[in-house]
C-alpha cells in the first residue's frame, strides 16, 4: 500500500529533503509552503513542506510530522518554485535557501498572528551599591541585554537560558525595563501622487517599458549616465504599477546610500511603501514582510535579500545600479539578487528593469544578443558631461602621489570656490613598509600579504584578516633602519595635500574615517553644506552621491587594475572611473576629470576620453570574447580551505575527478592556490569549472555537490561552490 509522504526542507547544510509521515493527530495534510516541526536526530527542528507525494513502502520506517504551524502556506506556490529553482541553480541546500525567504521571527514555529514581542532593555547604569547586589545570573542577563541595545524578545532570552524570574527581579529594581514592541511599519494611506515632469527621453523610456510590460515578461536595461534621470523613469513606472493595483519591488545596492530615493518614492507614489534590509530589527522586518505578503504594501524597497519578499500581486521589478557587486552574496548561499530578480520576473510574467550608467558586461552582452531590450537616456538632465584629461606620469616630477598638472588644476578650482575630489581606492598611509637596507617588507604573520601602515593608529594592519601590530623601528629581517613607505594610501594623500593646501578644509572619507556611527552622514552633510573644500575618498564616495559644487575629480592612480590577475578588474575600473567622474560637474558647474597614469596608450585609458563607458565596455567585451571568458563562457568555482595544505588540495583533486567523469564536456582548471593562498592561517585553494553553455554547467553542478557531500575529504575542509563567481580569488 503506497504511503503518503511529506518532503520537508530543514535548515541543515545537506542537499536533500527529508521525508516524514503526516501528523498522527490530524486528517488534513500540510500543504507545500507551510512550516512544520519534525523530529530530527535527537532533537526537533522547524522546516518547510516542499511537496507531498505517494511513495511505495519506504525502505526505512519514517517518523511523523510533530506539529503543523500554518493553516495556509506561509510561502506561496510561486515563491516556493523560485526557491526550489535557486537551490538547484546555486547547488545549495534547499533548507538553507528557504531560510532566506522567512523573516527570522518566523523561522521558529511562531505564528503570524501571535502575541506581539515583549522586548526588554537594560536600564541606565546603576550606582555602585546596586551593582554590588547583582547576582551572577542577573549579571549574565544584563550582559546579554547590553549586547542588544535595541531590545530583545523575552522568548529569546529564555531560549538563551535566562529565567523569567531573573528578569522580573531585575525589573523590580529598575535595572531593566520593557520596551514597547516597535509599531508595525505604518502603511500610509493612499495620497494623490505628485505629477512627475518627464523629459522627452524619460517619457520615451517609460512608454517603451510600459508597452512591453503589457505583454508580460521582458528585461529592460535602462542605460543612462549619472544625472540622466533614471530615477524619474523608475518612479513613473512604479506609480503606474501601483495605480493598476499591483506591487512593485525596487532593489537597491545599499540602503544607506538611498535615503533620498526612498523619500522620493514615498512622495512620488501614493501607496504603502515598506523598506526591507538586513539592518532592520526583527520585529520591523516581520511587519514589513507581512504587509508585502498581504498586499497592503504597494512598493517594497530593499537590498539584496528583499528579492525573496512575497509579492502576491507583483507587477514590476526594478534593480537599480544593477552592476553593483553587493547584489551578489559572497558567502553561504551565493546568489545574485539581480539574476534572481530576472528569473522571478520571468516566472511572474512581468517586466524587470535593470538600471545603470555602467552596466555589467553580462548585461550588455544580453542586450547585444537580443535577450534584453535597452533603453538609453543619453543626455544629462542638467549640466554637461565632464571633460577628461589624461596626465602621462612617465618621467614626471611628483609631489607625493600628485603631478603638477593635477595640483595646479586643484589650486584653480579651490580658488574659484569649488570643491575638489581626489579619488584613490586604497586606505591607510602606505600599502608597503620596506627595509632600505635589505628590501624585506613587513608581512602579516597569518596571511600571505604585506601589511598596510596606518598612520592614525600607528599600526601595521592586514587588510585580509584584520590583525595588526605596532611597527618596530628596525627591520625584522636584518635589523637595519630606516623602513621606507612604499606607495600611497588615502592617509598619505591627506598629508601631502595638507602641505600643499594649508588653507583648504580637507575631509578624508574612507572606511577608517567613517567608522564611528553616523560619521558618514555627518561628512556627507558637511560636503553638501559646503563645509569642506577638498575631499579625499575611496569608492565610498564614488557611488551615487550628488555634490552640486564639485567641479574637479582627480583619479590619482588609474594603473591599478589595468594589469590585474582578475579578469574582471578592467570592468570594475571602467565602472569606477565613470561613477567617480559622474561626481564632477553637476548642476551649475562644468566638471573636469584628471586621470593620472603611466599607461596613456592603454585602450582602457584611451577609451575614457570618448563616451567613456560604452567604449571601454566594448574593448573589454572583445577581450573577453577572444579569451573565452564570461559572459562568453559560464563559470563556477569550488573553493576549499584548511590549516593543512594537503587537505584542500586532496579534496579538490577528488572533486575534479568526480566531475571529469560525470561531465566530460566541462573544462576544469586547478586545484590552484588562491592568489593570497594563506589567509588568517587558512590555506585556500580553488578549482575552476568552465562551460561553453549555461545548460552544460547547470546540469552538472547540483549532482556534483551532492556527490561532494559524501566525500570523506570534504569533511576535513571548509568548502563552498560559487556559481557565476564575481571574483575568482
Partner DNA sequence: AGCACGCCGACT
Partner DNA sequence: GTCGGCGTGCTC
In whole angstroms, the minimum distance from the beta carbon of 703 to DNA comes to: 16
Q: How far is the CB of 66 from DNA (least distance, A)?
A: 11
The answer for residues whose C-beta is within 8 angstroms of residue 91's C-beta and 6 or more apart is 15, 701, 702, 704, 705, 721, 723
CA-based nearest residue to 250, from 230, 229, 224: 230
Among 29, 31, 63, 549, binds DNA (CB under 7 A): 63
Beta carbons within 8 Å of 213's beta carbon, 6+ residues apart: 237, 316, 350, 351
Among positions 358-387, residues that touch DNA (CB under 7 A) are none
Shortest Cβ distance from residue 69 to DNA (Å)?
18
Stretch that binds DNA, among 12-20, 148-156, 270-278, 286-294 (CB under 7 A): 12-20
Peptide bond into 66 cis (omega under 30): no
Backbone phi and psi for residue 684, each to the nearest 5 degrees, phi listed first: -110, 125
Closest distance to DNA from the beta carbon of 54 (Å): 15
| Sign of the four-CA dihedral 393, 399, 404, 408 | positive
- What does the DSSP assignment read for 49-78? EEEEEEESSPSSPPPB--EE--SS-SS-HH
Task: Name every residue whose Cβ is closer than 8 Å to that of residue 80 and which is 6 or more positions away in sequence.
Answer: 32, 33, 50, 73
Report the nearest approach of DNA to the CB of residue 21 (Å): 7
CB-nearer residue toward DNA: 248 or 652:
652
Q: Where are the alpha helices (DSSP H) in 677-725?
A: 694-709, 712-715
**CB of residue 335 vs DNA: minimum separation in angstroms?**
18
Total interface residues for DNA by CB under 7 A: 20
**HSE (CB half, 13 Å, CA atoms) of 578?**
29
Nearer to DNA, 571 or 642 (CB): 642
Query: Of 538 and 650, which has the nearer Cβ to DNA?
Result: 650
Could you write out the DSSP letters of every residue in 308-331?
G---TTEEEEEEETTT-GGGB--S
For DNA, what does the binding mask look like between residues 287 and 326, x meaning CB under 7 A?
----------------------------------------
Which residues are CB-neighbours of 203 under 8 A, at least 6 positions away?
none
SS3 536: strand
Note whether 715 binds DNA by CB under 7 A: yes
Q: How far apart are CA 511 and CA 541, in angstroms?
A: 10
- Pick 646 or 667: Cβ nearer DNA: 646
Cβ partners under 8 Å of residue 71, min gap 6: 34
Q: How far is the CB of 92 from DNA (least distance, A)?
A: 12
∠ at Cα 661 (660, 664), nearest 5°? 60
2, 4, 13, 546: residue in contact with DNA (rule CB under 7 A): 13
For residues 572 and 567, give the distance between their C-alpha atoms in angstroms, rounded to a whole number: 10
Nearest distance in Å: CB 641, DNA: 13
Q: What share of the chain is helix, strand, coil (3-state, %, to 5)?
A: 35, 25, 45
| 696-700 CB contacts, 8 Å cutoff, 24+ apart | 696/634, 696/663, 696/665, 696/666, 697/634, 697/635, 697/636, 697/666, 697/723, 698/88, 698/89, 699/663, 700/659, 700/662, 700/663, 700/666
Q: Is 60 in the site for DNA (CB under 7 A)?
A: yes
Residue 2 engages DNA in binding (rule: CB under 7 A): no
For 713, phi then psi, to 5°, come to: -65, -20
**In the sheet where 18-20 sits, what is the strand order?**
18-20, 3-9, 43-55, 35-40, 67-68
Nearer to DNA, 12 or 696 (CB): 12
Of residues 107 and 343, the one with the C-beta less far from DNA: 107
Closest contact distance (angstroms) between CB of 45 and DNA is: 9
Asked whether position 204 contacts DNA by CB under 7 A, the answer is no
The interface with DNA within residues 29-48 (CB under 7 A) comprises 38-43
13 or 439: CB nearest DNA:
13
19 near DNA, judged by CB under 7 A: yes
Q: Is 62 in the site for DNA (CB under 7 A)?
A: yes
- Does residue number 327 form part of the binding site for DNA (CB under 7 A)? no
Task: Decide if residue 331 touches DNA (CB under 7 A).
Answer: no
Least CB distance from residue 447 to DNA, whole Å? 22
Is residue 119 within 8 Å of residue 180, measured between CB atoms? yes
In the complex with DNA, which residue's Cβ is closer, 230 or 647? 647
Considering only residues 3, 12, 440, 569, which one is a binding residue for DNA as defined by CB under 7 A? 12
Which one of the spans 6-14, 206-214, 340-348, 498-506 is the region binding DNA (CB under 7 A)?
A: 6-14
Shortest reach from residue 141's CB to DNA, in Å? 22
Least separation in angstroms between CB 178 and DNA? 29
Helices (H), 217-294: 230-243, 259-268, 282-293
**Dist. CA 609–CA 616, nearest whole Å:** 10
Choose the stretch contacting DNA; rule: CB under 7 A; options: 9-17, 312-320, 334-342, 479-487.
Answer: 9-17
- The CB-of-28 to DNA minimum distance in angstroms stands at 19
- Give the binding range for DNA (CB under 7 A) out of 10-18, 124-132, 612-620, 673-681: 10-18
* Residue 712 sits in the site that holds DNA (CB under 7 A): yes
**Closest separation in Å from C-beta 74 to DNA:** 21
Give 18 or 402: the residue with its C-beta nearer to DNA: 18
Binding window for DNA (CB under 7 A); candidates: 8-16, 260-268, 358-366, 494-502: 8-16
**56 near DNA (CB under 7 A):** no
Nearer to DNA, 38 or 98 (CB): 38
Window contacting DNA (CB under 7 A); options: 14-22, 475-483, 568-576, 676-684: 14-22
DSSP 8-state class, residue 41: T
Indicate which single residue of 9, 15, 20, 450 sits in contact with DNA (rule: CB under 7 A). Answer: 20
Q: Of 9, 15, 18, 250, which lies in the binding site for DNA, with binding defined by CB under 7 A?
A: 18
State which residue, 43 or 172, has the beta carbon closest to DNA: 43
Helix (DSSP H) and strand (DSSP E) numbers for the chain:
22, 32
SS3 386: coil
Stretch that binds DNA, among 249-257, 394-402, 492-500, 710-718 (CB under 7 A): 710-718
Helix (H, G, I), strand (E, B) or coil at 593: strand
Residue 398 engages DNA in binding (rule: CB under 7 A): no
> Using CB under 7 A as the criterion, which residues of the chain lie in contact with DNA when the complex forms?
12-14, 16-20, 38-43, 60, 62-63, 712, 715-716
Amino acid at each position: 500500500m503506497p504511503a503518503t509522504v511529506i518532503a520537508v526542507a530543514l535548515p541543515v547544510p545537506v542537499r536533500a529533503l527529508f521525508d516524514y509521515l503526516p501528523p498522527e493527530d490530524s486528517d488534513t495534510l500540510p500543504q507545500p509552503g507551510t512550516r512544520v516541526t519534525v523530529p530530527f536526530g535527537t532533537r526537533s527542528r522547524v522546516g518547510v513542506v516542499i511537496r507531498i507525494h505517494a511513495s511505495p513502502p519506504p525502505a526505512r520506517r519514517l517518523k511523523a510530522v510533530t506539529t503543523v504551524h500554518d493553516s495556509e502556506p506561509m510561502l506561496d506556490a510561486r515563491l516556493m518554485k523560485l526557491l526550489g529553482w535557486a537551490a538547484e541553480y546555486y547547488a545549495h541546500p534547499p533548507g538553507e535557501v528557504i531560510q532566506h525567504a522567512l523573516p527570522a521571527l518566523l523561522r521558529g514555529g511562531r505564528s503570524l498572528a501571535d502575541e506581539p514581542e515583549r522586548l526588554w532593555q537594560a536600564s541606565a547604569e546603576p550606582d555602585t551599591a546596586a551593582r554590588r547586589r547583582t547576582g551572577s545570573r542577573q549579571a549574565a542577563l544584563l550582559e546579554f541585554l547590553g549586547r542588544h541595545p535595541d531590545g530583545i524578545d523575552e522568548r529569546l532570552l529564555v531560549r538563551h537560558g535566562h529565567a523569567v524570574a531573573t528578569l522580573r527581579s531585575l525589573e523590580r529594581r529598575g535595572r531593566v525595563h520593557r520596551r514597547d514592541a516597535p509599531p508595525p511599519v505604518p502603511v500610509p494611506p493612499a495620497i494623490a501622487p505628485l505629477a512627475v515632469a518627464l523629459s522627452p527621453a524619460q517619457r520615451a523610456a517609460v512608454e517603451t517599458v510600459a508597452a512591453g510590460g503589457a505583454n508580460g515578461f521582458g528585461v529592460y536595461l535602462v542605460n543612462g549616465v549619472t544625472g540622466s534621470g533614471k530615477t524619474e523613469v523608475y518612479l513613473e513606472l512604479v506609480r503606474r504599477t501601483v495605480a493598476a493595483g499591483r506591487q512593485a519591488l525596487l532593489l537597491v545596492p545599499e540602503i544607506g546610500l538611498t535615503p533620498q530615493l526612498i523619500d522620493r518614492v514615498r512622495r512620488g507614489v501614493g501607496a504603502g511603501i515598506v523598506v526591507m534590509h538586513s539592518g532592520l530589527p526583527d520585529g520591523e522586518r516581520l511587519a514589513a514582510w507581512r504587509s508585502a505578503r498581504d498586499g497592503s504594501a504597494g512598493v517594497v524597497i530593499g537590498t539584496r535579500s528583499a528579492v525573496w519578499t512575497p509579492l502576491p500581486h507583483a507587477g514590476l521589478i526594478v534593480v537599480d545600479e544593477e552592476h553593483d557587486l553587493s547584489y551578489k552574496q559572497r558567502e553561504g548561499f551565493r546568489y545574485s539578487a539581480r539574476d534572481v530578480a530576472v528569473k522571478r520576473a520571468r516566472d511572474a510574467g512581468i517586466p524587470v528593469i535593470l538600471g545603470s550608467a555602467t552596466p555589467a558586461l553580462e548585461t550588455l552582452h544580453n542586450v547585444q544578443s537580443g535577450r534584453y531590450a535597452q533603453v538609453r537616456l543619453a543626455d544629462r538632465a542638467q549640466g554637461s558631461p565632464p571633460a577628461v584629461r589624461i596626465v602621462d606620469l612617465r618621467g614626471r616630477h611628483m609631489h607625493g602621489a600628485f603631478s603638477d598638472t593635477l595640483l595646479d588644476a586643484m589650486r584653480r578650482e579651490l580658488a574659484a570656490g569649488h570643491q575638489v575630489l581626489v579619488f584613490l581606492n586604497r586606505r591607510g598611509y602606505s600599502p608597503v613598509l620596506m627595509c632600505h637596507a635589505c628590501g624585506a617588507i613587513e608581512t602579516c604573520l597569518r596571511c600571505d600579504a604585506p601589511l598596510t601602515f596606518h598612520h592614525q593608529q600607528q599600526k601595521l594592519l592586514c587588510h585580509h584578516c584584520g590583525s595588526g601590530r605596532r611597527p618596530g623601528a628596525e627591520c625584522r629581517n636584518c635589523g637595519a633602519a630606516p623602513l621606507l613607505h612604499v606607495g600611497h594610501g588615502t592617509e598619505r594623500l591627506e598629508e601631502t595635500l595638507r602641505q600643499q593646501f594649508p588653507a583648504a578644509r580637507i575631509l578624508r572619507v574612507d572606511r577608517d574615517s567613517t567608522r564611528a556611527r553616523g560619521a558618514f552622514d555627518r561628512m556627507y552633510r558637511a560636503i553638501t553644506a559646503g563645509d569642506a573644500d577638498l575631499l579625499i575618498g575611496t569608492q565610498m564616495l564614488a557611488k551615487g552621491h550628488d555634490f552640486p559644487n564639485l567641479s574637479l575629480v582627480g583619479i590619482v592612480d588609474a594603473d591599478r587594475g589595468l594589469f590585474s590577475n582578475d579578469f574582471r578588474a578592467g570592468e570594475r575600473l571602467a565602472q569606477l572611473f565613470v561613477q567617480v567622474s559622474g561626481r564632477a560637474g553637476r548642476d551649475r558647474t562644468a566638471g573636469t576629470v584628471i586621470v593620472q597614469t603611466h599607461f596613456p596608450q592603454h585602450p582602457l585609458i584611451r577609451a575614457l576620453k570618448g563616451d567613456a563607458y560604452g567604449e571601454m565596455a566594448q574593448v573589454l567585451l572583445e577581450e573577453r570574447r577572444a579569451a573565452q571568458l564570461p559572459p562568453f563562457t559560464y563559470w563556477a568555482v569550488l573553493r576549499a580551505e584548511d590549516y593543512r595544505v594537503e587537505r584542500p588540495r586532496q579534496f579538490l583533486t577528488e572533486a575534479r575527478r568526480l566531475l571529469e567523469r560525470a561531465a566530460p564536456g566541462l573544462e576544469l582548471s586547478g586545484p590552484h592556490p588562491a592568489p593570497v593562498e594563506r589567509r588568517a592561517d587558512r590555506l585556500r585553494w580553488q578549482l575552476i569549472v568552465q562551460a561553453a553553455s549555461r545548460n552544460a554547467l547547470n546540469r552538472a553542478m547540483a549532482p556534483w555537490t551532492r556527490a561532494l557531500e559524501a566525500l570523506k575529504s570534504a569533511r576535513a575542509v571548509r568548502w563552498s561552490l560559487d556559481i557565476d563567481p564575481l571574483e575568482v580569488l
